[in-house]
Structure 1
Amino acid sequence: MGKNRHYFAGDHTAKGFYTLYDSNFQEVRRLVKLDGVLRSVKTKAMTRFAEEHNKQGYAVEWIHASSHNDWLDAVIVPELQLGVYDSQCADITAADTAVETVHTNQYVNRSSLKDKERTIHRYQQRISRALTAAQASFQTGLFVHDDLEDIYIRHLDFAKANQLAKDWQHYLHADVTATGQTPIIKHRFFGASTPNGVMDYIPNITEDVGKRYFIKGRAGTGKSTFLKKLAAASEELGYNVEMYHCGFDPESIDMIVVRDLDFCVFDSTDPHEYFPERKTDEVIDLYEKTVMPGTDEKYEKPIQKLTIKYKSYMKKGVTFLKKAKRNQDELDSIYRSAADDHAADYVFQTIRDKLK
């Protein structure tokens, strides 16, 4: 069995729906685009395609849909440079890539949907409104989170923070030889706010990484800046880097993975808090090393108040994602009722034929 790696490449965030799809398809040379309305059917076909290659011993990347826990946005077989994606999640452009299109609507009896057009339109509107409301809630939560960050930023020793980053850049790259190659940088999300709540794939992504560094700290203690500096050092030496963005504020970085150097460093704080499990795991506590002692105690009440407030908006956003999913399921049910019973089989076989 080949290795399965799971992640997101699009997410409903505080800054709208944020897409990172293109970055992950830059090495794909043959790509199948699945058009049409049958999202669950397309997911079944992609799942079969992924499982078939996995059984043949190939590693497979599963790109999940953040707005629906049961759906896929895409799958990639890196070793064969093959990919399949759902056009409803993104319009992927990749240089030097041959793109084939499968029109899944050919398996839908459109005439049987004529008397359901108003119902379909109503569900589409509900989905759009719910997703917009979710993003608005996350945005308000980010404004509150900014106030929380400000407390720690005002008590952060920037000189110590900069020196700590330099020390770790040197430590992680000591005795590392520059490759002379142009590195490949891929941007992803390891987690997302989904209809089932906030979830992540950190254990899956890091399970075969030898050295894991868990960053502890608070909002505003420079975790993202620290990670960006470490990534820049690896990139400068010519090593490929996986950059995992924050699913809440996508302009921040929550994890970097440098597989050729066998290490990863990630923000291990709520809502993706993990603790060392292996002998090789190590904690980097930015709060302890860079923030004025006693800050937590001095601002305990405002910190608690702001934390509760921002989390309430996160929960509110998730309730809107749940509402969107309920309507997506209803809409998908209508489309499937008008589709050929063997549509997923036909789509899967067409994908195989196009990627032989």
Structure 2
Amino acid sequence: MAGKVHHFFAGDHTAKGFYPLYAFNYQGLERVFILQGLPYTGKSSLMEKLADEWKGEGFDIEVIHSSSDNQAIDGVIIQQLKLGIYGGDTPLYVFNDENLEYINMDTTVNFDSLNGKKDTIIQLKEKIKNAYQEAQNSFKAGLEIHDDLEDIYINQMNFTKANQLTTQLIHQLFNNRKAASNDAVVKRRFFGASTPQGVVDYIPNLTEDLDKRYFIKGRAGTGKSTILKQIAAAGESLGFDVEIYHCGFDPLSLDMVIVRELGFCVFDSTDPHEYFPDREGDEIVDVYAEAVTPGTDEKYADEIDNLTRGYKSYMKEGVAYLKEAKQHDDELQSIYKDAVDNSVTDKIFEKLHLEVGKKASSLE
């Protein structure tokens, strides 16, 4: 039987710049293969092929997507084997060297064939860098407007009621249960990201096998992230492994918490990742209804509308810059394509596939 696959991001272009969380997802692994070298050497397609192979062999797979192109892959992890592959551009500071094995993907490239294209390559790389910077500047400008939107609701919050709601929810979720072990593992990720393809999220995939899903409804500034932070802290203090999903817009805020051992998730179910209950076990937690002064939406309707349109315009602008970066990146990809020796890539694939087979056999 084929294994399950969970999809998520571990790095994102945000209002705080590019925000990497890769290290949190490779902790606890006994062996990690680091694919070094240019991103145009087939790293993503290699990892995708390996993920498909291992899924077919019955392993559960974690696939880390690239926010620069969510069709591309930054990493693949097999928790059952405590083994992973990482091919992202951000250095992975997690292990002692004895846990890591580096594979130089640049050995697949005939660099001599690129000599006449160096100026074009340099220009394209600079354009990509600038486009990413402009995207992050746009997101930052959008967040500043979003902060003003939050202020409206913060000033209308009943924090006593919000705290009571949080306490009740934590009691409902954990019900005085404690994990068998106190060695809680906390993994930090993004369930969604702004990408060249627009805002993408993997909430349905990440939550499909959970018994209970709590949809937090509310407005900007109504404490949804604070509730999630307290739930995550409670889970960790009780010894449960916790998956913490940061906001792809403002990574200092949280958007979802999953405790798989207890079969539940709690997530911010508002735009741009708004979902509604559609199966048994789904439940809405409405912070606006419970803790915000009635009539706030109506009283400040014009100001709320102006601020919302303002920050969304910057979000749209940021995505446009990401799309521009992707277009330049595709040009680079086409330049390197003919310089890559696919037979070398195939040998690297066989090596990694063999290593996974050895690891699996050792556990039988």
SS across alignment from 2:248: coil
Q: Which string of whole-angstrom CA distances, capped at 9 and with x for unpartnered residues, describes residues 4-39 of structure 1?
A: 000000000000000000000012111111111143
Q: Which residue pairs with 2:351 in the alignment? A: 350
Q: Distance in 2 between matches of 1:329 and 1:226?
A: 41
**Could you list the runs of 4 or more consecutive aligned residues of structure 1 that deviate by over 4 angstroms after TM superposition?**
none
**What is residue 362 of structure 2 aligned with on the other side?**
none
What stretches of structure 2 of length at least 5 have no aligned partner?
359-364
Aligned equivalent of 1:56: 57
Q: Which residue matches 1:285?
A: 286
1:39-98 residue CA offsets vs partner (Å, 9 max, x unmatched): 361111111111111111000000000011221100001100111111424334235862
Q: State whether residues 35 and 103 of structure 1, in contact with CA within 8 Å, keep that contact through their aligned partners in structure 2.
A: yes
Q: 1:172 — aligned with what?
A: 173
Task: Name the CA distance, whole Å, in 1 between partners of 2:307 and 2:32.
Answer: 46
Say which SS state the counterpart of residue 332 (structure 1) adopts: helix
**CA contact 2:41–2:340 (8 Å) conserved in 1:** no
Distance 1:86 1:180 in 2: 32
Amino acid at match of 1:129: N
- Asked whether the 8 Å contact 1:73–1:89 carries over to 2, the reply is no
Partner of 2:311: 310
Contact 1:28–1:83, Cα closer than 8 Å, also in 2:
yes
Paired AA for residue 179 in structure 1: A
Which runs of structure 2 are paired with 1:49-128 in the superposition (5 Å)? 49-94=50-95, 98-128=99-129
Separation in 1, partners of 2:96, 2:160: 42
CA distance in 2, matches of 1:323, 1:40: 21
Q: Which moved more, 1:290-299 or 1:341-350?
A: 341-350
Distance of aligned partners of 1:179 and 1:40 in 2 relative to their CA distance in 1, 3 Å threshold: same
- SS, match of residue 69 in structure 1: strand
Quote the Cα distance in structure 2 between the aligned partners of 1:24 and 1:229.
Answer: 21
Classify 1:106/1:178 alpha carbon distance in 2 versus 1 (closer, same or farther; 3 Å): closer
Distance in 2 separating the partners of 1:62 and 1:276: 26
- Residue 273 of structure 1: how far off its partner (Å): 0.1
Deviation readout 1:141-199 (Å, 9 max, x if unpaired): 00000000000000001111111111111121114134342200000000000000001
Cα drift, residue 133 of structure 1: 0.3
Question: Residue 351 of structure 1: CA displacement?
Answer: 2.3
- Distance of aligned partners of 1:40 and 1:74 in 2 relative to their CA distance in 1, 3 Å threshold: same
Note the C-alpha offset of 1:346.
2.5
Q: Aligned residue for 1:323?
A: 324
Is the CA contact (8 Å cut-off) linking 2:178 and 2:239 kept in structure 1?
A: no
Question: Which runs of 5 or more residues in structure 1 are unaligned?
Answer: none
Matched ranges for 1:160-239 at <5 A: 160-239=161-240
Farther-moved stretch of structure 1 (272-281 vs 174-183): 174-183
Measured on the aligned residues, the alpha-carbon RMSD in Å equals 1.4
| Other-structure match for 1:155 | 156
SS at match of 1:71: strand
* 1:342 match: secondary structure: helix
Q: CA separation in 1, counterparts of 2:71 and 2:351?
A: 22
> Is the Cα–Cα contact under 8 Å of residues 29 and 96 in structure 1 kept in the other structure?
no
Q: How many Å apart are 1:343 and its aligned residue?
A: 4.1
Q: Matched residue of 2:310: which SS?
A: helix
Report the count of equivalent residues.
356
Q: 1:178 to 1:62 in 2, by over 3 A?
A: closer
Shift of 1:340: 1.1
